[in-house]
Amino acid sequence: MRIALTYLIVVLAVGAIPDAFAFGYIAPESIETGVPECSEKNFNTFRCARGIERKELSAKGNAVRRSGNTLRLRLEKITVSLVDNPTESGDSSVSYSYLGFSRKLNSHVLHVQYYEGGAYMVIHQHSGQRAFPSGYPFASPDGQHFLSISEDMFAGYSPNNVEIWQVRSGKFRRVANYEPEWGPRSGNWASVRHALIEKQCYAPEESNPTGLKSCGLAKVERSGSGWKLVE
Residue type, 154: F
Say yes or no to pLDDT of 41 above 90: no
71 or 187, which is more confident: 71
Instruction: Tell me the average pLDDT across 157-169.
Output: 93
Say yes or no to pLDDT of 204 above 70: no
Mean pLDDT, the chain, rounded, equals 84
**Residues 152, 8 contacting (CB under 8 angstroms):** yes
Closest CA to 140 of 173, 101, 200, 187: 187
Say yes or no to pLDDT of 225 above 70: yes
163 or 204, which is more confident: 163
Residue 11 has a pLDDT of 31
SS3 category, 46: helix
Instruction: Tell me the average pLDDT across 66-92.
Output: 91
Q: Which of 95-104, 165-174, 194-203, 221-230 has the lowest mean pLDDT?
A: 194-203
* Band of pLDDT at residue 2, cut at 50, 70 and 90: very low
Report the C-alpha gap between 119 and 95 in whole angstroms.
Answer: 11
How many CA atoms are closer than 13 Å to the CA of 129, on its beta-carbon side?
Answer: 12
Q: What is the pLDDT of residues 5-25, one digit of tens each?
A: 333 333 333 333 223 235 567
Report the C-alpha gap between 123 and 131 in whole angstroms.
Answer: 7
Please list, in sequence order, all residues whose beta carbon lies within 8 angstroms of the beta carbon of residue 206, skipping any fewer than 6 positions away: 212
Residue 186 has a pLDDT of 79
Q: What is the pLDDT of residues 121-144, one digit of tens each?
A: 999 999 999 999 999 999 999 999
Instruction: Tell me the average pLDDT across 74-95.
Output: 89
Residue 210 has a pLDDT of 66
